[in-house]
Homo-oligomer: A and B are copies of this chain.
Amino acid sequence: MNAINFAELKALQSQPTPKTSCANCSMHALCLPMGLEPSDVEKLDQVIGRRRRVKRDEFLYKRNDPFRNLYAIRFGHVKTYHVNAAGDAQITGFQMAGDLLGMDAISGAHHCDAVALEDSEVCEIPFARLEGLFSEVPALLRHFHRTMSQEIMREQNVMLLLGNMRAEQRFAVFLVNLASRYAMRGYASTCLQLRMSREEIGNYLGLTIESISRLLSRFKSLGLLQVDKREIRLLDLAQLKSLAAGMDSSN
C-alpha cells in the first residue's frame, strides 16, 4: 500500500493558505463530501458553519447540550464518553480527522461528552441546514445514511469486543483497527503515535490501565511491537491480525 500523507501533500502544493473549504480539505475523500460532484461540494460548503478550534482537554460538546450541529474533524483527535450515575466513565469512541461526530444526538440532545485529545479543529455542521440540503443533493443524503450505518456497525463491533473477547484479543483488535484507520488516511500505519493515555485505552476496552501496561509488555516480549512512551511501532502486523481474529494466541 503506497502510503500518501494527505496532510503533507496539501502543505507542499499550497504555500498560501487556501480558503477553508471542503474542496481543498485534505479529508474530503473520507468526510461528508465523499463522492459528491464539485457543484454539490460547493453547496455543502455554503451550509457548513464556522471551523472551530478545540484545545486539548476542551469540550467539543457536553451531555445535555441541545443538539444543533454535527462535527467533522479537520485535524486532531477527539474522544467521546458516557458518564453513568455512579460517576465513572465509559469511552465510546476515539475520533480522528475525517470522522463525523454527534449522530447519537439527532434525537434531541447530546447524551455523551466529547473532549479533544490534542489541539484539534472541527467543522461545525448545522444539522437543520444540512437537512435542507438533503432534498437538493440526494447523493449527500445517501452518504449520510451510509455514515450513520457505519457508526452502528462500528459500535456492534465494540459490543463483540467487550462481550466475548479476552484482554489480549481486545488489545490486538484495538491496535489493528487504529493502524488501518491511519492507513486509510495515508499515514504510516505501522508506527502509531497514540493520542490517548493507557487509562483511556483501558477504559475503552473494558480493562484497567494495569492490564494495558501488561499487554504492552507481553506483546513487546513476543516481538509483536516496540513501545516508546506513546509511540508504538508494529513489528508483526500479520500476527497481530491473527490475534485480533481470535486465532491461536498461545501456540
Contact = CB atoms under 8 A, between A and B. Distances in A.
A152 to B, nearest CB: 4
A6 interface: no
Interface in A25-39: none
A25 to B, nearest CB: 22
A236 interface: no
Contact of A134 (B141, B146, B158, B206): B141
Contact of A245 (B85, B131, B146, B162): B85
A111 B150 CA distance: 11
Contacts of A156: 82, 92, 104, 111-112, 155
**How many of chain A's residues touch chain B, expressed as a range?**
35 or more
A158 B106 CA distance: 19
Given A104-B153, A246-B85, A90 B142 contact: no
A135 B138 CA distance: 9
Nearest to A142: B131
A67 to B, nearest CB: 9
16 contacts: A84-B160, A85-B246, A90-B160, A104-B152, A106-B148, A111-B153, A111-B156, A112-B156, A131-B138, A135-B135, A145-B148, A148-B152, A151-B152, A162-B163, A163-B203, A164-B203
